[in-house]
Amino acid sequence: MDLHHWDPRCGRPDDLIAPVALDATGERGPTRHQAAGSRWRQTSSGRYVPADAPEHVEQRILEQGSRVRSYGAVTAWAALRWQGARFFEGRARLDGGPLPVPIVTGGHDLRPDPRVAISKAQLAPDERDLVHGIWVTCPPRALFDELRRHGELRQAVVDIEMAVAAGLVTVNGFRAYVAQRNAWPRVGLARHASAAAGLGCRSPQEVRMALVWMWDAGLPRPRCNVPVFDRQGRLIAIVDLLDPVAGCVGEYQGADHKDGQRHRQDVAREQSLRDHGLECFEVVGGDLADRDLTVARMLAARRRSRFAPAEGRAWTLDTPPWWAPWAAGRGL
């Protein structure tokens, strides 16, 4: 089954091409003469793929991960992506350019190459797995290395949430892993981020919206991706952010919500939430870059909220009997 582009998990493309070595016969790889031509592209020293090989992120990971043999592993964002976490795309946040594939060698040498970022940090044998042909670090180690790679607190919380949403780690499991890394650089960042994580978000922008709510607006920790029902047990909506005390809902609307049919559904959804006594605010596109604007919108919505006691609400978070099997069947 094809996964939606906002699903936190992704499948591995079926058009990947593994690098090959030179072959004097030209049967298992290019001859030296062929490799010098336009039909082949060098991926690393002595390794080649056809010039028309795909250029997506998994191909880059495969090309550089194929260099790893008896020691070391692909790690950080590349290991998480290779194991199915969609939102680790290997692109620089500022200019969108491709990041070098991170490889940890456990103290061993590996020929330098601008297409890889080499770390000689320690690597325990049980932190290394062979996954679909290349060696990668286990998810907790990969996530730990990714947080330390970029060193940004908010992005670190995003990374943890997206690895959890992809089913690669649990929040408690990652916290336990970090607790064993006392002497490692930037372990404090990993501790702080893992303490804030566990929101239950399903996309990076939902995490960023929740962090603005907590850290910039100074509001109570919200519930995220929570189903809200009416008193007859009917689903009203699964909301991105909910303050259950105030009865305030926040929704992040990406570019795909501008589509006519999707927009009509969003309008009807918001109206249904309001009809049941929930106040709503919306965050779109570049709003999160203007934190003052977003904070003002959040605070205004919360001031308008009813703060109704549980017994006086037309909505509830109590799940009806039909919900668990229905949600499980849809991966919720």
pLDDT tens by residue, 116-172: 999 999 999 999 999 999 999 999 999 999 999 999 999 999 999 999 999 999 999
Distance of CA 46 to the CA centre of its chain: 34
List pLDDT tens digits, range 46-62. Answer: 999 999 999 899 999 99
Q: How confident is the model at residue 265 (pLDDT cuts 50, 70, 90)?
A: confident
Q: How confident is the model at residue 90 (pLDDT cuts 50, 70, 90)?
A: very high
Q: How confident is the model at residue 1 (pLDDT cuts 50, 70, 90)?
A: very low
70: DSSP letter? S
Alpha-carbon span 175 to 208, nearest angstrom = 20
Instruction: Give the model's pLDDT for residue 180.
Output: 96
Whether residue 112 has pLDDT greater than 70? yes
Whether residue 37 has pLDDT greater than 50? yes
Instruction: Spell out the long-range contacts of 147-153 with Cβ–Cβ below 8 A and sequence spacing 24 or more.
Output: 147/186, 147/189, 147/190, 147/193, 148/184, 148/185, 148/186, 148/187, 148/189, 148/190, 149/76, 149/77, 149/102, 149/117, 150/93, 151/186, 151/189, 153/189, 153/192, 153/193
Instruction: Give the model's pLDDT for residue 325.
Output: 75
Instruction: Give the model's pLDDT for residue 21.
Output: 96
> What's the predicted TM-score (pTM) here?
0.94
Q: How confident is the model at residue 2 (pLDDT cuts 50, 70, 90)?
A: very low
Whether residue 263 has pLDDT greater than 90? no
Whether residue 22 has pLDDT greater than 80? yes
127 contacts: CB under 8 Å, gap ≥ 6: 73, 137, 138, 141
